[in-house]
Amino acid sequence: MATRQSLITDARAQIKKINLYSVFKQFDDYWYPIIVGQVNDQHVRIVKFQGEFMWHTHEKEDEMLLVIRGHFSMELDDESISLSQGEFIIIPRGTMHKSIAEHEVEVLLFGPETTANTGNEQNNRTREIGEKR
C-alpha cells in the first residue's frame, strides 16, 4: 500500500499523467477523498464508497461526480438518480443530497478547493479541506 502522502499530486509539479485505475488500487478507505490534481481553484479528487452517506449540502459550491467504476444512486429531496460507469452528475450549490452504493464504487469528484466532503455537516467522515492522506 502506498502512503497517504504519496497519493497526493502536487499541482505545482511537472506535467504528468495520472492513471486513475492505478491510484484507486493503492487505497481501501471509503468516503475519504484524495486530491489527485488541481485545475485553477478546482480540486480533482477521487473517492471510493460503499453504503450510505449522510444528507448534506454545499452552500457555496457546485460539485461534479463522475463514476469511474461501479454504480450508485444520488438521492435528492424529490428523486433518486442512478449513475453508472462513465456517467456524471452536477449537484448545484444548496442542493440537499446523499450517495448510496450497494457495492463499492469509484468516483472522481470535481469542485472548488473549498468544498468540504460533508458540506454543512460535521462528523467522523468530515475531512479538512485539502487534507493530505
Q: How far is Cα 99 from Cα 71, in angstroms, rounded to an integer? A: 10
Q: How far is Cα 34 from Cα 29, in angstroms, rounded to an integer? A: 10
Give me the domains of the chain, ranges plus CATH numbers: 15-112 (2.60.120.10)
> For 74-92, what is each residue's pLDDT tens digit?
999 999 999 999 999 999 9
pLDDT reading at 44 higher than 70: yes
pLDDT reading at 112 higher than 90: no
C-alpha cell at 93: 450549490
Q: Is the pTM of this model over 0.85?
A: no
Q: Residue 45: which of 131, 99, 110 has the closest Cα? A: 110
